[in-house]
Amino acid sequence: MTKLGPRLVGIFGGTFDPIHYGHLRISEELVETMNLREMRFIPAGAPRLRAPPIASPYHRAGMVQAAIQSNVRFILDEREIYRPGTSYSVDTVRELRQEMGEDVTLCLVMGADAFMRLSEWHAWHDLFSLCHIIIAARPGHDLTARLDSLPQALREESSRRWAHSLADLESAQCGLIYIAPTILLDISATVIRTLISTQSSARHLLPEAVLDYIETNHLYSGEE
């Protein structure tokens, strides 16, 4: 395993509605293979490009905390759920850059499907002056075979930013895009919610601590 030192900090945002083993497995691998100082899980408050989450911000943060409590390099960051208005990733990354200083290299983690829509994000160009982009490809999303289908603005912007190794990320403070090889678990939060709402078993798709939290708080059952 390549050791780059504790400079790199991962940022993993999402609705986490609920958090599941797909999220956790990707995070575990990136922490280990990239030797991240930490991975920050940041539940979205009011996302702009997707439907509102089902569970409240309070409960989504509670599920994340239950899921990550045994890993000292997994950190819950609640700033977006307490920020008024729409959640913009660029605001979060900018805040983290100001808080952590220039000694830390920020790495924004996203799936291939999210990267394909990056040019729709608010102030997306600004991200490259703040962090690296780490892409964890999901099942059915072979990004290397789809680069020609990227929106023109994103294709042109990304053409000069591809990193070919972890060492490339260490050599620059920000601005690179890296496709991280990971084990891909095809787990859907939508499927998990459907299973729970129909009183079917969702075991082994997410941690028992998260299932316990969901059952205790009657989430996704129509009783919350």
8-59 per-position pLDDT tens digit: 999 999 999 999 999 999 999 999 999 999 999 999 988 776 788 999 999 9
58-80 per-position pLDDT tens digit: 999 999 999 999 999 999 999 99
User: Contact, 24 vs 63, CB < 8 A?
Assistant: no
108 part of a folded domain: yes
Closest alpha carbon to 27 in 186, 134, 178: 134
Write the CATH number for 192: 3.40.50.620
150-175 per-position pLDDT tens digit: 899 999 999 999 999 989 998 999 99
3 part of a folded domain: no
Q: Does pTM top 0.75 for this prediction?
A: yes
Domain count of the chain?
Answer: 1
Q: Looking at residue 5, what is its pLDDT?
A: 47
180 part of a folded domain: yes
Domain of 142 in residue numbering reads as 8-216
- pLDDT over 90 for what percent of the chain? 74
Average pLDDT, the chain: 90
222 part of a folded domain: no
176 part of a folded domain: yes
221 part of a folded domain: no
